[in-house]
Structure 1
Amino acid sequence: MPFMNEILPDTAEAFGKLRDSIFEGGELDRKTKELIAIASSVLMRCQYCVDVHSQRAAANEASKKEIAEAIAVAMFIAGGSQLGWTNVYGENVYDIVFGEKKPEEAEKEKGCCCGNWRRNQRNS
C-alpha cells in the first residue's frame, strides 16, 4: 500500500498492527488462519489476497489439497448463500417462483418486483 504509507502513514501502520495481531499468536495456528484468509478472499473476490494468502499458507505447511479445500468451502458458502438471502418478502422467493401462483395474479402486479417490495415496505 505505497499510497497509504505516503498519504496516511498512521492508518497504514494501524492496518499493519491489526494484521500482525491477527496472524501472530492466538489459539489458531498460522496455517489455519491463512486457510481462513484464503476462503475469505475468495468470498471477497480479491485475486491478490487469494494469491498472497495461498503463498503464506503454503509457507506455513499447507498442502495444495488443503488450499483447494479452503477454496471449496468458500464456493459452498457462496452457492448456499444464494438460497438463504431470498426471504425478504416474508416467504422465500423461490417458493413464490416455483409455487402455485397463477399467471393472472402475476399480471395484476405492475412494474419491477423491487418496486412492489418497496411499496409493501412503505405500507407496512
Structure 2
Amino acid sequence: MPFMNETLPDTAEAFGKLRDSIFEGGELDRKTKELIAIASSVLMRCQYCVDVHSQRAVAHGANKKEIAEAIAVAMFIAGGSQLGWTNIYGENVYDLIFREKKPEEPEKDKLEKEKGCCCGN
C-alpha cells in the first residue's frame, strides 16, 4: 500500500494492525483464515487479493484442491444470494410481480357499489 503509506501513514499503520490482529493467533489456524480470505476476495472480485491470499494459503500448507474448494464455496454463496435476495416481506418478489391481478373496476361501478345502486339507495 505505498500510496496509503505515503499519504496517510497512520491509517496504513492501523490497517496493518487490523490485519495482524485478525491473521495472527486466535482459534482458527492461518491456513483456514487464508482460505476464508480467498473466498471473500472472490466475492469482492479483487483479483489482487485472491492472488495474495492464495500465495499465503499455500505458504501455510494449503493445497490446490483446498483453494478450489474455498472458491467453490464463494461461488455457491454468490449464486444462492441471487436467489435469496428476491424474497422480501416473506414472499418472492417474482410471485408478487406475476400474481394475477383482477382488472380494476371502472370508477362508475365503484361508486354504484358504494351507494347500493345508481340512484343512491
TM-score, with length taken from structure 1: 0.76
Partners of 2:67 and 2:12 lie apart in 1 by 28
Shift of 1:101: 5.9
Matches within 5 A, 1:45-64: 45-64=45-64
Q: 1:27 to 1:103 in 2, by over 3 A?
A: farther
Shift of 1:87: 2.5
3-state DSSP class of the match of 1:18?
A: helix
Shift of 1:93: 1.7
Correspondence for 2:33: 33
TM-score, with length taken from structure 2: 0.78
Partners of 2:119 and 2:6 lie apart in 1 by 44
Partners of 2:17 and 2:58 lie apart in 1 by 23
Partners of 2:48 and 2:71 lie apart in 1 by 14
Q: 1:4-47 CA deviation, whole Å, 9 max, x = no partner? A: 00110000000000000100000000000000000000000000
Question: Which structure has the larger Rg?
Answer: 2
Correspondence for 1:12: 12
Shift of 1:95: 2.5
Q: 1:76-98 CA deviation, whole Å, 9 max, x = no partner? A: 00000011111346521232466
5+ residue gaps, structure 1, are 116-123
Tell me how many residue pairs correspond in the alignment. Answer: 115
3-state DSSP class of the match of 1:113?
A: coil
Matches within 5 A, 1:45-84: 45-84=45-84
Provide the alpha-carbon RMSD of the alignment: 9.0
Partners of 1:63 and 1:114 lie apart in 2 by 84
Identity %: 91
Shift of 1:110: 30
5+ residue gaps, structure 2, are 106-111
Partners of 1:21 and 1:69 lie apart in 2 by 26
Partners of 2:119 and 2:4 lie apart in 1 by 39
Shift of 1:109: 25
Greater CA drift, 39-48 or 91-100 = 91-100
